[in-house]
Amino acid sequence: MEFPIGVLVSGRGSNLEAILLHIKEGKLNVEVVAVISDNEDARALKIAEEYGVDGYYIPCIEKKTALVGEAERKYIELFQKKGVKLVVLAGFMRILKKDFLTAFKGRIINIHPALLPSFKGLNAQKQAFEYGVKISGCTVHFIDEGVDTGPIILQEPVPVFDDDSVDTLSRRILKHEHEIYSRAIQLFSEGRLKIEDRRVRIIAGSTEEERS
């Protein structure tokens, strides 16, 4: 079996789709063993189904913004049962709490549509656009107890043009999200990410091409 990953989603699922497509094309050597959504209507669940991946809707009624209580326990149990070695947040709109973080310590990553530490939280593209930055981008990072504060794995800059809107900028950033997320997942699966305090060191690959 390829390296087993679990994906958490809440909505559109374009990052999940990019991951599944890269796997199908042989560009990413992992297996998505479970997708869990906290939203029954998430398009992401349909995408999982289209790709023949097990998708689960598990609601969390206790709280709107965090994964807590009974639901948190179910998420942990399901991923553990499936042997998940990396948890990938792909537009999952809840904060993870201690029990989940402990169960998958150092093995949870997120994609954020801005160059962290700028523009944390919701609507990052809009925040960056309204601030007037000339360069924004996207960030893949490990999850820690804070919101969008964990050690940074990869970042990609994306220019902001004069005639951009929040929408055109978001779409440009999204294309880059789709690329760097798979790259980060591949690096993790190869054991090539080493966290040293706040820094994530990428251990060089073995082929000449990767080293150049």
Residue 188 neighbours by CB distance under 10 Å: 23
Q: Are 31 and 5 in contact (CB under 8 A)?
A: yes
Q: Which residue is nearest to ligand GAR (CB)?
A: 91
User: What's the first-to-final CA gap in the chain, in angstroms?
Assistant: 30
Residue 192 neighbours by CB distance under 10 Å: 16
Residue 140 neighbours by CB distance under 10 Å: 25
Q: Which is nearer to ligand GAR, 72 or 177 (CB)?
A: 177
Q: Are 106 and 140 in contact (CB under 8 A)?
A: no
Our finding on whether 124 is near ligand GAR (CB under 6 A) is: yes
User: Nearest approach, Cβ of 115 to ligand GAR (angstroms)?
Assistant: 12
Q: Which is nearer to ligand GAR, 19 or 187 (CB)?
A: 19
User: Nearest approach, Cβ of 3 to ligand GAR (angstroms)?
Assistant: 21
Q: Which of 6, 55, 113, 137 forms a contact with ligand GAR (CB under 6 A)?
A: 113
Distance between CA atoms of residues 39 and 43, nearest Å: 9
Q: Which of 7, 23, 87, 111 forms a contact with ligand GAR (CB under 6 A)?
A: 111
Our finding on whether 11 is near ligand GAR (CB under 6 A) is: yes
**Catalytically annotated residue among 22, 112, 141, 178:** 112
User: Nearest approach, Cβ of 168 to ligand GAR (angstroms)?
Assistant: 14
112 is annotated as an active-site residue: yes
Return the bridge partners of 135, or none. Answer: 159
Our finding on whether 137 is near ligand GAR (CB under 6 A) is: no
Our finding on whether 69 is near ligand GAR (CB under 6 A) is: no
Task: Give the interface size with ligand GAR as a residue count (CB under 6 A).
Answer: 14
Q: Are 79 and 34 in contact (CB under 8 A)?
A: yes
Q: What is the DSSP letter of 127?
A: H
Category of 134 on φ-ψ map: left (φ > 0), alpha (ψ -120 to 50) or beta: alpha
Positions touching ligand GAR (CB under 6 A) are: 11-15, 44, 90-91, 111-113, 124, 174, 177
**Among all residues, which ones are annotated catalytic?**
112
